[in-house]
């Protein structure tokens, strides 16, 4: 089987992540709004997208029939019902099925849809709306062509990494939930900034742009974060006193435990479904 182009996209379950994906796909310049169908049951929630030219419908089957790439982005509790309701309109020679659903394996999806449809699991985060996602992708070995087609699209929506399927749940904790952890760190820094004299909006700008700089330095230099930290710490200096206070208060431990706790919670959800 050879796929040439994924010209039309259906996002089935356009909630928070689905809407962020839609925004990113057009912002990246790869798709026009008219190439993208968005579905959900409460379709009135998508009126702003309708106004921008996206196709909006409650009819999952029609959206799928009119599309090549099918991104399913419903909650885990709705997954089985949804896959059962769309399995008749999925065609292995036409569609690639992409799932963002937490905790639902490729084998599970395959067993519900009951045919050898190419399936790619992805774990992006909502920064996909501004093309700054970290997206992990996984597929069965025989779906090499499909995963690379999907990767090419997501390469323009931030950074990507192909991983084993067993690492998709950990990626949810580090990258999906991780977005919230770093936002909380930005908020905390801005609260400190306000206490030392900045207005709240200024403090958030200063904290967020500093966080962006730290992230960009890490990615661009491909160095361990500690090597950049070494450049800004001097003996008996200001920065090391703040860093050591953070560690006395358990900053690294809190972040590590947040990521491990989130990953364990995903395991709980998987065991319950
Ligand atoms: N948010 C994130 O950052 C993130 C990151 C990575 C992965 N994920 C995963 O991606 C999935 C979506 O997350 P989310 O945060 O976007 O959840 P969400 O905001 O709850 O969106 C899911 C949407 O699915 C719709 N839906 C449910 N059943 C449907 C059906 N039969 N047909 C069409 N639409 C249906 C719901 O809308 P209606 O009730 O109007 O139908 C809802 O808006 C979840 O499995 C989540 O774990 C999320």
pLDDT band at 273 (very low <50, low <70, confident <90, very high): low
Tokens of 254: 């809190």
Q: Is residue 76 part of a domain?
A: yes
Tell me the average pLDDT across 174-190.
Answer: 97
CATH number (domain holding residue 229): 1.10.3730.10
Give the per-residue pLDDT at 1: 45
Q: Is residue 18 part of a domain?
A: yes
Of the candidates 120, 143, 163, which is a domain's last residue?
A: 163
pLDDT band at 5 (very low <50, low <70, confident <90, very high): confident
Phi-psi region of 127 (alpha: psi -120 to 50; beta: other; left: phi over 0): alpha
Give the per-residue pLDDT at 144: 94
Give the per-residue pLDDT at 116: 87
Instruction: Give this prediction's pTM.
Output: 0.94
pLDDT greater than 90 at residue 109 = yes
* Ligand 1 centroid from CA 189, angstroms: 31
Ligand 1: lining residues by beta carbon, under 6 Å: 12-13, 15-18, 39-42, 60, 73-76, 78, 82, 100-102, 123-126, 172, 176
Tell me the average pLDDT across 44-53.
Answer: 97
DSSP state of 1: -
| Nearest CA, atom 44, ligand 1 | 75
| Nearest CA, atom 39, ligand 1 | 41
Tokens of 10: 């259906």
CA distances from 73 to 83, 245, 265 (A): 11, 41, 19
Range 43-50, long-range pairs (CB < 8 A, 24+ positions): 46/14, 46/19, 49/14, 49/19, 49/22
* Ligand 1 centroid from CA 223, angstroms: 36
* 89 and 184 share one domain: no
pLDDT band at 197 (very low <50, low <70, confident <90, very high): very high
* 87 and 214 share one domain: no
Q: Is residue 3 part of a domain?
A: no
* Ligand 1 centroid from CA 32, angstroms: 22
CA distances from 240 to 75, 190, 197, 247, 253 (A): 44, 19, 21, 10, 18
Give the per-residue pLDDT at 4: 55
Q: Is 176 helix (H, G, I), strand (E, B) or coil?
A: helix
The CA distance from 4 to 206, in Å, is: 45
49 contacts 73 by C-beta, under 8 angstroms: no
pLDDT greater than 70 at residue 13 = yes
Average per-residue pLDDT for the chain: 95
Specify the ligand 1 atom closest to the Cα of 40. 34
Q: What percent of the chain has pLDDT over 70?
A: 98
Give the per-residue pLDDT at 269: 76
**pLDDT tens digits along 65-89:** 999 999 999 999 999 999 999 999 9
Specify the ligand 1 atom closest to the Cα of 41. 41
| Distance, CA of 19 to chain centre | 12
Who's near 213: CB < 8 A, 6+ residues apart? none
pLDDT greater than 60 at residue 3 = no
Find the domain containing 120 and state its range.
9-163
pLDDT greater than 90 at residue 267 = no
Tell me the average pLDDT across 187-192.
Answer: 98
* 151 and 177 share one domain: no
| CA-based nearest residue to 53, from 80, 66, 35 | 35
Total tally of structural domains belonging to the chain: 2
Give the per-residue pLDDT at 134: 98
| Nearest CA, atom 18, ligand 1 | 15
CATH number (domain holding residue 151): 3.40.50.720
Of the candidates 163, 194, 215, which is a domain's last residue?
A: 163
**pLDDT tens digits along 90-108:** 999 999 999 999 999 999 9
Specify the ligand 1 atom closest to the Cα of 124. 6
* 35 and 159 share one domain: yes
Q: Is 139 helix (H, G, I), strand (E, B) or coil?
A: coil
């Amino acid at each position: 089987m050879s796929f040439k182009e994924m010209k039309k996209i259906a996002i089935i379950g356009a909630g928070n992540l689905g809407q962020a994906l839609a925004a990113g796909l057009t912002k990246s310049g790869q798709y026009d709004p008219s190439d993208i169908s968005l579905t959900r049951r409460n379709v009135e929630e998508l009126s702003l997208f309708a106004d921008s030219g996206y196709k909006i419908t409650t009819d999952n089957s029609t959206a799928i029939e009119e599309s090549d790439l099918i991104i399913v982005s419903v909650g885990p509790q709705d997954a089985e019902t949804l896959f059962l309701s769309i399995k008749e309109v999925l065609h292995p020679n036409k569609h690639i099925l992409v799932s963002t659903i937490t905790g639902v394996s490729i084998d599970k999806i395959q067993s519900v849809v009951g045919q050898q449809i190419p399936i790619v699991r992805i774990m992006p985060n909502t920064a996909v709306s501004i093309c700054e996602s970290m997206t992990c992708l996984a597929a069965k070995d025989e779906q090499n062509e499909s995963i690379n087609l999907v990767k090419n699209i997501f390469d323009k929506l931030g950074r990507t990494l192909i991983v084993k399927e067993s690492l998709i749940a950990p990626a949810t904790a580090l990258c999906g939930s991780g977005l919230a952890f770093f936002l909380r760190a930005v908020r905390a820094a801005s609260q400190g900034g306000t206490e030392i004299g900045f207005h709240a909006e200024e403090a958030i700008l200063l904290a967020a742009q500093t966080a962006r700089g730290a992230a960009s330095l890490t990615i661009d230099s491909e160095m361990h974060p500690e090597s950049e930290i070494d450049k800004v710490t001097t003996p008996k200096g200001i920065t090391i006193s703040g860093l050591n206070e953070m560690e006395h208060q358990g900053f690294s431990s809190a972040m590590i435990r947040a990521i491990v706790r989130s990953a364990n919670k995903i395991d709980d959800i998987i065991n319950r479904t």
